[in-house]
Structure 1
Amino acid sequence: GIAHEINNPIGYINSNLGSLQQYLQDLLTIVAAYQKLEARLPVDEEIRGLQKLRQDLDLDFLKEDSLALLSESCEGVQRVRNIVQDLKDFSHVDSAEWQMVDLHKGLDSTLNIAHNEIKYKAEIVREYGDVPLVECLPSQLNQVFMNMFINAAHAIEEKGKITIRTGREDTSAWIEIADTGKGIAPEHLSRIFDPFFTTKPVGKGTGLGLSLSYSIIQKHQGRIAVDSCPGKGTTFRIVIPLKRVSETAPQGGLEDAEST
């Protein structure tokens, strides 16, 4: 797929940059040896010409900057590879089947994808517990995480904090995503999972993100709870079974946070 088409040329670039770094280091070693030899030679017109050329080219700067440029290029290539991997982990393009999945890996890859949306708004705090693999549709569950992270970032008006907690509860896993944003008005709490309900200005939101998240968690036989205090923040708690009971026995729904 697309990831493969990107990874192939990136692999060539990464390999070539590694070779180029080694070649440059070898060349600089030779240049350093010539410079030592030059210091022992009598100064004649040719030596003065070499010294002027070295000064005009600013050889010391060229050596330092060329190594830095190559290092930055290698870091850039690695970032592209990481982004491609995060996109694969987020979307799980290789399979749309139910899988046993590491929730923490899904949370982390989703956070990486949402990084630009979050980085200026919130500090991310991870408080991960000991959670076994969970049977889920990973791309859909990651979409729930994405909706929660984006909503949390949008709720924070100035610099705040988004805390992600996980744990195990009997035969279920739970995830809490808490923000220090403006909170949800009490009169809106019962409607936030309704399709098309939004408190955002026209054009700023469709009101489908939480509704979709609710449906996905229902499909996973789980539930979502919400606890919010205006002016202090909001916490969403997701609980899903470690393994499905059966394909024909979905259960779960919306609860108040106090009942979980």
Structure 2
Amino acid sequence: MTSPPSNPSLWWRLSWQLGLVIIAVIGGVIVGLSVYATMVLSPNVAAEREITAAVAAAIARDDQGRLVLRETPQLKALKERNRQLWTVAATTDGASVSFGAIPAPFAGLAPLVHLFESADIRGAAGTDEIASVENVDTDLGEVRVLFGGFADKGWPVLAILAESYPIYGSLIAIALPAIFLTVPRIVRRALAKVSDVARKASQIAPRVHGARLPVSGIPKEVAPLVTAFNGTLGRLEAEFETRERFLIDAAHELRTPIAIMQTRVDGMSDGPERTRLLSDVARLASMAEQLLDFEHSDQTIDVGQSVDIVAVAREVVADLAPFAIAAGYEISFESEAERVARKGDPTALRRAVSNLVRNAIDHGGQRGMITVSASAGAAIEVADQGPGIAVEHRALVFEPFYRVKPKSEGAGLGLSLVKKIVERHGGQVIIRSNATGMRIAIQL
């Protein structure tokens, strides 16, 4: 069995995509500036490092103190690759040495090389040659190098990137942590309202009229979804109200024909047929009342009143004792205290306890004792000596219209109504069942 695919994280997707975009922009700016620099700086910029390094390694003084360029392997390889290469190397005191054929337009600069620290020389009349002057540190001290005639000028953009790495390297070192720390936080804050709306959506309870999700502060791209969801809530609420009105009206309307049937059956002569009809009419009346109670339970419960739990249980036992005795049971009432006061709705609680006792009468096996007890901890328990409820049915008996035995009497609303009433009071219903009977407790 394959597990369902997990939903992608919008926060994570936006964070890394925005991070990549910002990194790409920074990279584009660095490359763009480097390209622009190649149009401003000398075309020899890519060759500067190689030739100045070769001259710096080759320059020296002979025994008479004159400047010479030794034929080092590096300088020799440079000359072999660039047959037209020429250069003039000069110290800051005016001493100089050269090799190669210096073009006539630049020949007059040879004695003045020591005056330039850096220069880009081009556009001279009579030549397309481009010459450069660069400063280099050697064993002899500072040396200024004038050169030209380079056949392979290399890649100026790469040379500029190599030269300027301290600048953009520092920029990236600062920008990357900032991007990966700030972008996720910015995205999280932007989606905070969406998370709030999702949390509020999960808290919307059934039968709570007018519940809507807030639209203010929601990103305009998400707002249509929230608006559509609110519209769906409105339509569901309208349909629910229609269903609720129909069930209430139907339950009310059933009372009249049931009362008529009751009257007609009462007028019949005694006999088995009259007894069966009276039982059927009583069942119909009970189902109609349960249906009406079920639909009214969310509208009429007021849990702010003071209720004596002991008195509620005692009254229910007194009211239903004749029915229990007529069905073949004994019934008793026990209490740990004379009075246990709680906040709640006395009518709704009486209805809940009454449904528990009626459930015991209907499913207790028409024998044994039905015991109703009230504890000092605001719990009311109804116990019978019937067959109990199997484990697989215990969680389902609180669902509306669920019946353990499909052909059993009743509408399957009694325990569901009990659970609704108790939950509205902030309590819980506890079932304990075995082969010797069942206990259902209301804990407020």
Please name the residue that 1:71 is paired with: none
Q: Contact 2:313–2:380 (CA<8 Å) still a contact in 1?
A: no
User: In the TM superposition, what is the alpha-carbon distance from 1:165 to its structure 2 partner?
Assistant: 1.8
Q: Distance in 2 between matches of 1:216 and 1:116?
A: 25
Identity %: 30
User: In the TM superposition, what is the alpha-carbon distance from 1:237 to its structure 2 partner?
Assistant: 1.4
2:417 aligned partner, one-letter code: L
What runs of 5+ residues in structure 1 fail to find an aligned partner? Answer: 1-90, 241-260
Q: Distance in 2 between matches of 1:96 and 1:183?
A: 30
One of 123, 129, 132 as aligned partner of 2:330: 123
Please name the residue that 1:160 is paired with: 368
Cα distance change, pair 234–176 in 1 and its aligned pair in 2 (3 A): same
User: In the TM superposition, what is the alpha-carbon distance from 1:124 to its structure 2 partner?
Assistant: 1.6
Please name the residue that 2:351 is paired with: 143
User: In the TM superposition, what is the alpha-carbon distance from 1:111 to its structure 2 partner?
Assistant: 2.0
After superposition, give the CA deviation of every residue in 1:117-142 in whole Å (9 maximum; x if it has no partner). 21132212222012421211011000
After superposition, give the CA deviation of every residue in 1:97-123 in whole Å (9 maximum; x if it has no partner). 432122222122222322332113221
Q: Distance in 1 between matches of 2:353 and 2:331?
A: 14
Q: Distance in 2 between matches of 1:118 and 1:161?
A: 9
SS at match of 2:440: strand
SS at match of 1:192: coil
One of 382, 403, 419 as aligned partner of 1:214: 419
- 1:1-260 aligned within 5 A: 97=302, 98-120=304-326, 121-130=328-337, 131-169=339-377, 173-202=378-407, 204-230=409-435, 232-240=436-444
Q: Distance in 2 between matches of 1:201 and 1:113?
A: 29
- For normalisation by structure 1, the TM-score amounts to 0.51
Cα distance change, pair 233–203 in 1 and its aligned pair in 2 (3 A): closer
Q: Distance in 1 between matches of 2:372 and 2:358?
A: 13
Whose Rg is larger?
Answer: 2
Cα distance change, pair 203–178 in 1 and its aligned pair in 2 (3 A): closer
Bigger RCO (CA 8 Å, 6+ sep): 1
User: In the TM superposition, what is the alpha-carbon distance from 1:96 to its structure 2 partner?
Assistant: 6.6
What runs of 5+ residues in structure 2 fail to find an aligned partner? Answer: 1-292, 294-299
Q: Contact 2:324–2:361 (CA<8 Å) still a contact in 1?
A: yes
- Which runs of structure 1 show a deviation greater than 6 angstroms over 4 or more consecutive aligned residues? none
SS at match of 2:394: helix
User: In the TM superposition, what is the alpha-carbon distance from 1:227 to its structure 2 partner?
Assistant: 0.5
Q: Contact 2:307–2:342 (CA<8 Å) still a contact in 1?
A: yes
Q: Distance in 2 between matches of 1:143 and 1:174?
A: 15
Cα distance change, pair 216–96 in 1 and its aligned pair in 2 (3 A): closer
Q: Compute the RMSD of aligned alpha carbons.
A: 2.1
- For normalisation by structure 2, the TM-score amounts to 0.30
Q: Contact 2:314–2:333 (CA<8 Å) still a contact in 1?
A: no
User: In the TM superposition, what is the alpha-carbon distance from 1:157 to its structure 2 partner?
Assistant: 2.0
